[in-house]
Amino acid sequence: MKDILALTAKAFNDGFRYVVNEGGTRSSKTFTVLGLLYNIAASRPVLISVVSETYPHLRKGAIRDFQNILEDWGVWDETKWAKVESTYSLPNGSKIEFFSVDSPGKVHGPARDILFINEAQNISFDIARHLFVRTTGQIFIDFNPTHEFWAHTELKPDKDCAWIHSTYKDNPFLTANQVKEIERGKKNQNWWQVYGLGQIGQLEGLIFPAFSFCDTLPDADRVAYGLDFGFSNDPTALIRIATRGDDLYLDEVIYQTELTNREIVQLLKQHGLKPHYDEIIADSAEPKSIHEIRQAGFNVKPAVKGPDSIRAGIDRMLSFNIHITKQSTNLIKEFRNYTWVKDKEGKATGKPVDMYNHGIDAVRYAIQTKTAKNFVL
Residues of the chain with CATH 3.40.50.300: 4-196
Cβ count near 177 (within 10 Å): 10
Of residues 35, 56, 54, the one with CA closest to residue 101: 54
Residue 341 has pLDDT above 90, yes or no: no
Note the pLDDT tens digit of each residue in 247-297.
Answer: 999 999 999 999 999 999 999 999 999 999 999 999 999 999 999 999 999
28 backbone φψ class: left, alpha, beta (φ>0; ψ -120 to 50): left
The overall pTM is greater than 0.85: no
CATH for 212-372 (3.30.70.150, 3.40.50.300, 3.30.420.280, 3.10.20.30): 3.30.420.280
State the Cα–Cα distance between residues 88 and 169, nearest whole angstrom.
Answer: 31
Of residues 135, 95, 102, the one with CA closest to residue 116: 135
Note the pLDDT tens digit of each residue in 49-73.
Answer: 999 999 999 999 999 999 999 999 9
Q: Which residues pair with 89 in a beta bridge?
A: 95
Note the pLDDT tens digit of each residue in 68-85.
Answer: 999 999 999 999 999 999
How many DSSP H helices and E strands does the chain contain? 14, 17
CATH for 4-196 (3.40.50.1110, 3.40.50.300, 3.40.930.10, 1.10.420.10): 3.40.50.300
Residues of the chain with CATH 3.30.420.280: 212-372
CA distances from 302 to 175, 227, 261, 294 (A): 35, 10, 15, 11
SS3 track for 288-331: HHHHHHHHCCCEEEECCCCCCHHHHHHHHHHCCEEEEECCCHHH
What is the structure's pLDDT at 89? 98
Cβ count near 310 (within 10 Å): 17
